[in-house]
Amino acid sequence: MRAFNFSPGPAVLPTEVLEQARDELLDWRGSGASVMEISHRSPSFVEVATRAEADLRELMSIPKNYHVLFMQGGASAQFSLVPLNLAPPRATVDYIDTGHWSQKAIAEARRYCEVHLAGDAGGSYGAPPQDELRFSGRACYAHYTPNETISGVEYRYIPETHGVPLVADMSSSILSQPLDVSKFGLIYAGAQKNIGPSGLTLVIVRDDLVGRARAETPRVFDYKAIADQQSMLNTPPTFAWYMAGLVFKWLKKAGGVRAIGERNRLKAEMLYGAIDDSRLYKNSVAKDSRSRMNVTFTLSDVGLEPLFLEAAGEAGLTGLKGHRVVGGMRASLYNAMPIEGVEKLCAFMRDFERRHP
């Protein structure tokens, strides 16, 4: 039996998608081979690849003047590839620091650029408001992390950068609600949270930002070279790409990002409600920055945490342990987590509190 898996990533995939992948694993479309075993340049795989891109474009209403790149290396590779591709040596780049992942991005950018800190959470768990942001006014781009996966902090707004290309690490929030892509210069996301299996990284980039890579940028990581070859400069992660395509189809069938966004809002509301109504559980994020994707909470009696995790596991609720750097609990409510999973988690939490008053 499948558990309700709240893992932060790699994360739950829709059961229907896994079933389809299972059914066609050995003999894909009557080819006598697995989709994993065929050339990425074969017409049938190229069709899978093109279809996936078209479905993603439709789901996110990606304007025509944006490229969609199917890359490897994870979001962490983009921490270096964004500065290498968008900024000349010693150029100034603006970053907003809201926690773990922004800090990782900043540390990497510092190896290539002058990083100007345009804002931070000021020591609290929250996203800084627009009027506290201080951009340098001379940056090649401004980078932020719309959803901090580890602390569970999410922006409720898109920062206004006054013409400076906005770059966003959307690894844990892409496709989770409607989004105006035209407000961004570049969006990147590792696939393993809301898209598909790990190994695939999506980059959505406005065409005027492509073709600026530094001379020393590895060719397989040069956005222009990748765009020119439809992300097939070398062998792409074909199975992950195929799986992402199945997830996009599933998402379209589920009503697209508007419907899934509404469902995500309900799921988060339900879980934060259960936390706020209790005396045992506590969430420390500012209310206006609470993540809909990653809900963090601690137990007022820390000693109960191992017991909580064990009992949850026995109840078929897995992946709830918080990140090692922050501790506590974290329930990730990505698109593929059904409402029933969150209902079951809330019921379990109430019951656990009753048994441990």
Annotated active-site positions, please?
101, 169, 193
Q: Which of the ranges 68-76, 203-211, 239-247, 255-263 carries the binding residues for ligand PLP, by CB under 6 A?
A: 68-76
Which residue, 188 or 272, is less far from ligand PLP as judged by CB?
A: 188
Number of residues that bind ligand PLP (CB under 6 A): 11
Q: Which of 149, 296, 298, 335 binds ligand PLP (CB under 6 A)?
A: 149
Which residue, 145 or 335, is less far from ligand PLP as judged by CB?
A: 145
169 binds ligand PLP (CB under 6 A): yes
200 binds ligand PLP (CB under 6 A): no
* Amino acid residing at 253: K
Alpha helices in 10-168 (DSSP H): 15-23, 43-60, 74-86, 100-109
Q: Which of the ranges 74-82, 215-223, 271-279, 328-336 carries the binding residues for ligand PLP, by CB under 6 A?
A: 74-82
- Burial zone of 357 (CB within 10 Å; 0-12 exposed, 13-18 middle, 19+ buried): exposed
Give the pairing type, strands 317-318 and 329-332: unpaired
Q: What is the DSSP letter of 321?
A: B
Contacting ligand PLP within 263-322 (CB under 6 A): none
In total, the chain counts a number of residues equal to: 357
Q: How far is the CB of 21 from ligand PLP (least distance, A)?
A: 21
103 binds ligand PLP (CB under 6 A): no
136 binds ligand PLP (CB under 6 A): no
Q: How far is the CB of 347 from ligand PLP (least distance, A)?
A: 28
Which residue, 190 or 319, is less far from ligand PLP as judged by CB?
A: 190
176 binds ligand PLP (CB under 6 A): no
Q: How far is the CB of 10 from ligand PLP (least distance, A)?
A: 9
Which residue has 């795989």 as its token pair?
Answer: 45
CA separation, residue 3 to residues 7, 259, 267, 315, 346 (Å): 11, 24, 17, 9, 15
Q: Which of 12, 75, 93, 96 binds ligand PLP (CB under 6 A)?
A: 75
Which residue has 């994870």 as its token pair?
Answer: 74
Three-state secondary structure readout of 231-299: CCCCCCCHHHHHHHHHHHHHHHHCCHHHHHHHHHHHHHHHHHHHHHCCCCEECCCCHHHECCCEEEEEE
Which among 347, 291, 345, 293 is positioned nearest to 318, based on CA atoms? 345
Which residue, 28 or 149, is less far from ligand PLP as judged by CB?
A: 149
Given the rule CB under 6 A, which residues bind ligand PLP? 9, 74-76, 101, 145, 149, 169, 171-172, 190
